[in-house]
Structure 1
Amino acid sequence: MQLKKRVSALALAVVLALSATACSGTGSSSTGSSAAESASSAASSAASSAATTEKTTIKVGTLKGPTGLGMLKMMQDADAKTTTNDYKFALDTAPTAAVAKLTSGEVDMAGLPTNLAASLYKKTNGKMQLLEINTLGVLSIVTNGETITSIKDLKGKKIVSSGKGSVPEYAFNYILKQNGLNPEKDVQVEYASEHAAAMTKLVSGQVKIAVLPEPFVTQTLAKCKTAKIALNMTDEWSKVVKDGSVLTMGCMVVRKDFAEKHKDAVNQFLADYKASSEYANQNAEATGKLAEKYLGMPAAVAAKAIPNCSLTFMDGDEMKAKVQPFFKIMYQENPQSIGGKLPDDGIYYQK
């Protein structure tokens, strides 16, 4: 709106300049023409300058994982200054760090596990909104020297995982319970602070079973020749859910005040993210190179992992239809996983 007002004002200035020239009886036609051209040129130059300087800055937090992979083309375009918005990216390895930056206002939006969107909505009294869903099921049970062919085979086993307090923990617990296992008594789960730490424990042989997300699954297989994927958690989820719920792992959360103040810029972000995610899915090798540059992942590993990362883009009504059943399951599993209450429709950002 500010840009439109400035350009309109400049256009008005041109009209006034032309009128002043036309009303001057003493000036020659060539002088009038020259003055008009100068005024027009000045207005055009100023409008162009305004268009260049009116970019909205959006501070974006992202995690070193699938959420980051889907944004890599945006990062490249932002570096090249070809985006409509001015994006500033902040990379984190753990959701807790991203949440802290979002709640403090250090970033305007952040990629988070989906359950944390509902939790933040409740804890901040509606000051956060779910912007879009970008990642579906990416979890696998990976073994190193252990044979696991079903969830029930996990009984009595020690398992390392990550993502405590977020989707990996609650989804895993739900699957265990639906298979007749008590997460607190029948298995011993150790939660690492980061995905990379869980991977290291498995690769080094400290544990034989791990619950890992992509791209860390692919990294594990590349580093450890004896490691293998035992179970795909998305498949296991689909076996036990009764309402067709989708395992929605990752999302973007935006500060509501920022979204209301910069709606056009936020809508442009959504368009840019969708294009970036589609680019990643269609250009795994090129995106792998970007992953090495921006996320510190080996290019070959990232390129191999991308097809397994379930990168997607859902916003608006589609997002709501997919995530509502998921929130209900999370609530049934542990009400505190989504803040103790099912979120109302105010959580969903609408264009």
Structure 2
Amino acid sequence: MTEKVNRTSLLVCSLLMIFLSAGAAWGADVVKVGTVASTGEFILNVAQGKGYFEEEGIEPAYTFFDSAAKAIAPLGTGQIDVAGGAVSAGLFNAIERDIAIRIIADRTSVAPGFGFHGIVVRKDLAGTEVTSIADLKGRKIAIVARGSSTESILNEAMKSAGLAYRDVEVVYLPFPQQAAALASKAVDAVIATEPYLTPMLNQNLGVLLAPTDTYYPNAQIGELMFSENFASTRKDVGVRFAKAYIRAIRDFRSAFGPEGRLDGPGSDEIVALIMKYSGTKDEKLLRSIKLPAVNIDGRVNSESIQKDWQFFKDQGLIKGGVTPDKIIDNSFVEEALKELGSAQKNPG
């Protein structure tokens, strides 16, 4: 009789544990996250795989977009809560049209020593006709899109050599098409980013003339964004999301080797998580490319965003009165850091 009671008690306890576990999952705050195929999404993969979202009582519900630009409208209307994006003239113009978005954290930035982004010159020109940025004067350079952050980056490159933006001929090519343009000699140089940069160099299509960090250090390229609805009505959930995100940034950064690749301490685990939770399945490529720095505390570089905004404004690409201070919201990161503490000793 006692044995039967004990078995019954064990069964009840087991069922109760299952119920409580399920109840915790059912009670998690669902956050709708827009994702794209980008190195900037690796931090989300790490946060998911390490269980940081789960620890914060968050259940991400992912929606895939084939470009970050296509996530902006759903983010602005509150169809999704969180997405990665990049500062562009189009973003400011969208916000002017009542697409309500807040920039809350760093997602992709160019700290000194992190050469995941830069100017690549055609192989036949490098070292002979083109040995410095100044030698690009009058030449044809491809960047990803009109009004993109890359356009402002090109402007900074020209300024560093005493040139103006108008001193080069700019053409617009998506990143995946830039290697072919170099190979066919359709352009003289491109501003490329990973995961396209390293294969481009390995195939001897071009030579890295100048990494972006050498002429535009700490450039803010990509950001984590919240919808206005999510930011204003679910502040606590947003802070918890930021906590999980920052913890993942630190794990991601700690796995870097000296050249910004995933070959440092703990990189095996990080690579495995990225391969599990992202569309990236090529481990050799993943370990060979250089990766974005991402601020160790998740903070965005407001000065860089202001500089890009001013360039877009000067080029007549921004209509209306939306300024960076109206869309940058540091409060989520700062609240998260009150619990996590700052890990920042120097910029980057």
| TM-score normalized by the length of structure 2 | 0.72
The 3 A distance-change label for structure 1 pair 338 and 211 is: farther
Per the TM alignment, residue 140 of structure 1 is displaced from its structure 2 partner at its CA by: 0.4
Q: Tell me what 2:118 maps to.
A: 140
Q: Tell me what 2:7 maps to.
A: none
Alignment of 1:312 with 2:305, yes or no, is no
More displaced stretch, 283-292 vs 147-156: 283-292
Per the TM alignment, residue 117 of structure 1 is displaced from its structure 2 partner at its CA by: 9.5
Alignment of 1:273 with 2:245, yes or no, is yes
Pick aligned residue for 1:342 from 323, 326, 329? 323
Query: SS state of the match for residue 156, structure 1?
Result: coil
Per the TM alignment, residue 262 of structure 1 is displaced from its structure 2 partner at its CA by: 2.1
Paired with 1:69 and 1:311, the residues of 2 have a C-alpha distance of 11
Show structure 1 runs of 5+ residues with no match.
1-39, 239-245
Query: SS state of the match for residue 102, structure 1?
Result: helix
Pick aligned residue for 1:51 from 2, 5, 24? 24
Count residues with an aligned counterpart: 297
Q: Tell me what 2:57 maps to.
A: 84
Alignment of 1:234 with 2:206, yes or no, is no
Paired with 2:180 and 2:74, the residues of 1 have a C-alpha distance of 27
| TM-score normalized by the length of structure 1 | 0.71
Kindly report which structure 2 residues correspond to 1:183-332, keeping only aligned pairs within 5 A, or say none.
183-184=165-166, 186-192=167-173, 194-203=174-183, 205-222=185-202, 224-238=203-217, 246-283=218-255, 284=262, 285-286=267-268, 287-293=270-276, 294-296=278-280, 298-306=282-290, 308-315=291-298, 318-319=299-300, 322-323=301-302, 325-332=303-310
Paired with 1:159 and 1:130, the residues of 2 have a C-alpha distance of 30
Report which of the two has the higher share of helix: 1
The 3 A distance-change label for structure 1 pair 301 and 346 is: closer
Per the TM alignment, residue 236 of structure 1 is displaced from its structure 2 partner at its CA by: 1.2
Paired with 2:321 and 2:304, the residues of 1 have a C-alpha distance of 15
Per the TM alignment, residue 348 of structure 1 is displaced from its structure 2 partner at its CA by: 0.9
Per the TM alignment, residue 77 of structure 1 is displaced from its structure 2 partner at its CA by: 5.0
Pick aligned residue for 1:119 from 92, 95, 98? 92
Paired with 2:143 and 2:327, the residues of 1 have a C-alpha distance of 33
The 3 A distance-change label for structure 1 pair 304 and 141 is: same
* One-letter code aligned to 2:176: A
The 3 A distance-change label for structure 1 pair 204 and 291 is: farther
Q: Tell me what 1:3 maps to.
A: none
| Greater Rg over alpha carbons, structure | 1
Runs of 4+ in 1 over 6 A off after TM superposition: 40-46, 78-83
Show structure 2 runs of 5+ residues with no match.
1-12, 111-115, 256-261, 333-348
The 3 A distance-change label for structure 1 pair 297 and 91 is: farther
Paired with 1:119 and 1:152, the residues of 2 have a C-alpha distance of 31
Per the TM alignment, residue 191 of structure 1 is displaced from its structure 2 partner at its CA by: 1.0
